[in-house]
Amino acid sequence: MLVRRNCMVFLASMAPVVLWGAVSVSQSNEAEASERQSVSLPGSKRLWNLYPAVYDEKPDVASPFTTSDGREIVVVRTAKGQYALVPVTVENAPLNVRYGVHQIGKGRQLEVDGQDFPTLARVGLHSEKELDTVQGITGRAVEQIDALGQPGSSSDIGFLGADEDIISVLKGDNRLVRRLGLTHPQLARPLFHVWNLILREYELGRIGRFRYDIQSMLYNGDEIRFGEILTTRGFQESIFDDEIQGAFQINFRRTLSDQEKAFLEVRYGHLSAEQMTELTQKLIRVLTAEMEPYYVMRYGFYEGHTGYRVDPIALAFIFGLRSLEEIEDAFPQRLYEVLTTTFTRDSLPNPSFHVHRGRQVRRIH
């Protein structure tokens, strides 16, 4: 199976991002290895060492959270059922992890393509008027990007569906994200947290064939479980002229609660059993690569309807940015259609649909 990695260029600003509360940090300097770093949780004087240190008890802290010096940290569960605190800060950083004869790492995670998409760089969402005038992205003609993105071109499964083009896909997902009341940087951030977590595991030698130390990540009140993480010897090239590459296959999912299952059954009981299974899987499961967080942040590109698509609705649900009720409110009785319909010039989501305005994350209890 073909998989895809990271490396970044370009310059732009980023829309404001949400941080998750502060804790204090004890460390001698920024260059210290994370094995010797520690954090104290709010209301406690106890110091917790960061991963690879593990604990039998679950740290009593929200996950993710942000330290007083700006580091972002998640709580994870290991294969042995223990807990750990892992730094996953979204930042520009050197490619400092050896991968065969190559170097991988965070790269330029904060960059947005402001030259091609100035509104995206300014507010975190595309302007459709700007998209209507785009002739090229990163200096590569949209026709060439469309050709490279097709299945069987630059990769077997492609970056676009067989009937899709890059501008229609950017427009379609921008409408979904706008309707959710979110921005592309907000959806890129949890994907970067996943990738930065995997980078840390790989750096420690804890990812390899049949070897995975971290089994799940606690995130906004839910537990996100990881499936098999695969590495490859080669690199998948980007369809843009941006040096982004991929070498990892990543999959993760969260489980529907009984209340969420009942909610779907009430709202979508008219679907066949096969359609209900498809709807559920598209909501709770993502198979992707490390290229995608960079694509989402930089271009607002989640891939077309391919096997590696990171659908913004699924991201909002899995990472707890929107509850199932809020998502349904944004797409009333249309979730199955919205999640399964490809983006073409004739089949884009209707921008007149209701747009969710709320910012408070609610849960079905």
Question: Model confidence over 134-163: pLDDT tens digits?
Answer: 999 999 999 999 999 999 998 889 999 999
pLDDT given at position 38: 85
pLDDT given at position 42: 67
Spell out the alpha helix ranges (H) of the chain.
118-123, 128-133, 142-149, 166-179, 184-203, 258-267, 273-284, 291-299, 312-318, 324-330, 335-340
pLDDT given at position 363: 32
pLDDT given at position 28: 34
d(C-alpha 43, C-alpha 301), whole Å: 40
SS3 66: strand
What is the pLDDT confidence band of residue 22, given thresholds at 50, 70 and 90? very low
What share of the chain has pLDDT > 70, as a percent?
A: 84
Using the predicted structure, report yes or no on whether residue 26 has a pLDDT greater than 50.
Answer: no
Using the predicted structure, report yes or no on whether residue 300 has a pLDDT greater than 90.
Answer: yes
Using the predicted structure, report yes or no on whether residue 280 has a pLDDT greater than 90.
Answer: yes
Task: Out of 128-132, 226-230, 264-268, 353-357, pick the least confident.
Answer: 353-357
pLDDT given at position 231: 86
Using the predicted structure, report yes or no on whether residue 32 has a pLDDT greater than 70.
Answer: no
Cis status, amide bond into 16, omega within 30 of 0: no
pLDDT given at position 37: 82
Contact 276, 264 (CB under 8 A): yes
What is the pLDDT confidence band of residue 362, given thresholds at 50, 70 and 90? very low
Q: What is the mean pLDDT of residues 183-203?
A: 96
Nearest to 1 by CA among 339, 340, 250: 250
Nearest to 104 by CA among 230, 27, 22, 195: 195
SS3 215: strand
List beta partners, residue 85.
75
CA torsion angle 182 185 191 195 (round to 10) = -170
Task: Out of 196-200, 243-247, 322-326, 344-348, pick the least confident.
Answer: 344-348
Structure tokens at 253: 């999912």
d(C-alpha 66, C-alpha 8), whole Å: 25
Distances (CA, A) of 331 to 18, 175, 176: 24, 11, 9
SS3 244: coil
Using the predicted structure, report yes or no on whether residue 15 has a pLDDT greater than 50.
Answer: no
d(C-alpha 243, C-alpha 84), whole Å: 33
What is the pLDDT confidence band of residue 211, given thresholds at 50, 70 and 90? low
Looking at per-residue confidence, does 358 or 249 come out higher?
249
What is the pLDDT confidence band of residue 315, given thresholds at 50, 70 and 90? very high
Contact 96, 103 (CB under 8 A): yes
pLDDT given at position 351: 67
Distances (CA, A) of 62 to 74, 121, 204, 271: 8, 29, 25, 37
Place of tokens 């590696």: 308
pLDDT given at position 45: 76
- Mean pLDDT score of the chain, rounded to an integer? 86
pLDDT given at position 69: 79
What is the pLDDT confidence band of residue 100, given thresholds at 50, 70 and 90? confident
Q: What is the mean pLDDT of residues 65-79?
A: 91
What is the pLDDT confidence band of residue 208, given thresholds at 50, 70 and 90? low
Q: What is the mean pLDDT of residues 107-128?
A: 97
Q: What is the mean pLDDT of residues 261-276?
A: 98
What share of the chain has pLDDT > 90, as a percent?
A: 72
**Dihedral of CA 128/303/202/187: which sign?**
positive
Using the predicted structure, report yes or no on whether residue 259 has a pLDDT greater than 80.
Answer: yes
